[in-house]
């Protein structure tokens, strides 16, 4: 197949691109606007592969997007382009409405027009896979219960509301126009190449530098954690084997309180940090509790039984094994981290060719 991946320079998107190029014979067209979260250095390992192409295009730009479809003739779309940081959505929701709702609408319309012009075999083969979040479900009451594919939507933040809106658009385009769509909703991802403002990389890098480790409230919020490479495998599995019009929840079976995640990171940093850092006190001494986020959901937990039963996918990493790999990756790739932190990564456009 030739797969058009939107947001392929982001954290999850780049993992998907790397997975496809490394493990399949498929071609990838990476369509990314390259906002602050898009980093082509995360794709350096595939940038020179003849099966990879990059197009710097904003998904709200209908004409540019239609041109990409016309020139590359994809067999499938994996839609991961999104504004995704909850704090940023609270401070400035407009970008989330623009990208997550208007951008998804534009992509659906371009994909629909393209699909309608394909021959019978092309129409039968085409797939549009929309990648979403468990945050569209709101939060769970108490310590029991799981999000299923039938859980009603109850988004709490501008980010999750915009993702819920995009999910509804995708379902409507399938129901009304027959566009062959699939959808996935995943739990919290972590792993290599994660933008340093997110919880896991922020704690790793701050601990290495002896900076405060800010934790919202008392850190009692519970999340299900999924290693990003497990997620990439799941997404490709859904694209290639999922049933049209179906939704699949993807989770890691790793419910953890935020404070416990931070303590686990601290222990690994203490164990793995080179002696040259010269920090003598334990990293956990840097934990600092800060005012909680407005509307902060308390607990998310995913029932991933459907994708496991029907498609045979299951996570390979436990939280402990995945977190150890993640901390080790950041220790081995501090130059990548520093280039993100100082902004210099935005000065290069690796693999940018049509």
Rg (CA), the chain: 20
CA dist., res. 228 & res. 190, Å (int): 6
Q: Is 303 a catalytic residue?
A: no
Among 134, 139, 167, 224, the one annotated catalytic: 134
From the list 92, 98, 79, 80, the residue with the least C-alpha distance to 37 is 80
Are 168 and 104 in contact by the 8 Å Cβ rule? The answer is: no
From the list 24, 11, 6, the residue with the least C-alpha distance to 236 is 24
Are 231 and 258 in contact by the 8 Å Cβ rule? The answer is: no
Are 161 and 84 in contact by the 8 Å Cβ rule? The answer is: no
CA dist., res. 219 & res. 223, Å (int): 11
Q: Is 27 a catalytic residue?
A: no
Among 27, 32, 58, 135, the one annotated catalytic: 135
CA dist., res. 319 & res. 261, Å (int): 9
Longest dimension (CA), the chain: 67
Q: Is 58 a catalytic residue?
A: no
Q: For helices 319-332 and 199-209, give the axis angle rounded to 10 degrees.
A: 50
At 299 the three-state DSSP class reads strand
CA dist., res. 313 & res. 18, Å (int): 19
Backbone angles phi, psi at 105, to 5 degrees: -55, -45
Among 52, 137, 159, 227, the one annotated catalytic: 159
CA dist., res. 140 & res. 187, Å (int): 13
Positions marked active-site = 134-135, 159
């Amino acid at each position: 197949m030739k797969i058009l991946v939107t947001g392929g320079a982001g954290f999850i998107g780049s993992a998907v691109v790397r997975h496809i190029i490394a493990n399949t014979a498929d071609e990838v067209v990476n369509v990314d606007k390259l906002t602050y979260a898009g980093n082509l250095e995360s794709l350096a390992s595939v940038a020179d592969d003849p099966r990879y192409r990059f197009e710097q295009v904003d998904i709200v730009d209908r004409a540019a997007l239609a041109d990409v479809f016309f020139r590359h003739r994809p067999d499938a779309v994996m839609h991961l382009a999104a504004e995704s940081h909850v704090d940023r959505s609270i401070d400035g929701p407009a970008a989330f409405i623009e990208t997550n709702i208007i951008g998804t609408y534009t992509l659906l319309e371009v994909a629909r027009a393209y699909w309608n012009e394909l021959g019978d075999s092309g129409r039968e083969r085409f797939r549009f896979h929309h990648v979403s979040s468990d945050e569209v479900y709101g939060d769970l009451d108490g310590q029991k219960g799981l999000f299923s594919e039938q859980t009603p939507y109850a988004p709490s933040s501008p980010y999750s509301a915009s993702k819920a809106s995009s999910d509804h658009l995708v379902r409507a385009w399938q129901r009304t126009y027959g566009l062959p769509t699939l959808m996935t909703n995943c739990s919290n991802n972590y792993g290599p190449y994660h933008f340093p403002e997110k919880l896991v990389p922020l704690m790793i890098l701050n601990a290495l530098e002896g900076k405060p480790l800010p934790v919202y409230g008392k850190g009692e919020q519970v999340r299900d954690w999924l290693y990003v490479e497990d997620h990439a495998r799941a997404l490709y599995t859904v694209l290639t084997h999922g049933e049209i019009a179906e939704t699949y929840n993807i989770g890691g079976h790793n419910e953890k309180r935020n404070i416990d995640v931070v303590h686990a990171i601290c222990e690994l940093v203490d164990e793995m940090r080179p002696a040259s850092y010269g920090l003598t006190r334990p990293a956990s001494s840097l934990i600092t509790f800060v005012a909680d986020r407005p509307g902060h959901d308390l607990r998310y937990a995913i029932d991933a039984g459907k994708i496991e039963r029907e498609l045979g996918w299951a996570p390979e990493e436990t939280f402990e094994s995945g977190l150890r790999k993640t901390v080790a990756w950041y220790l081995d790739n501090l130059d990548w981290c520093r280039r993100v932190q100082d902004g210099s990564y935005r000065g290069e456009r690796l693999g940018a060719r049509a």
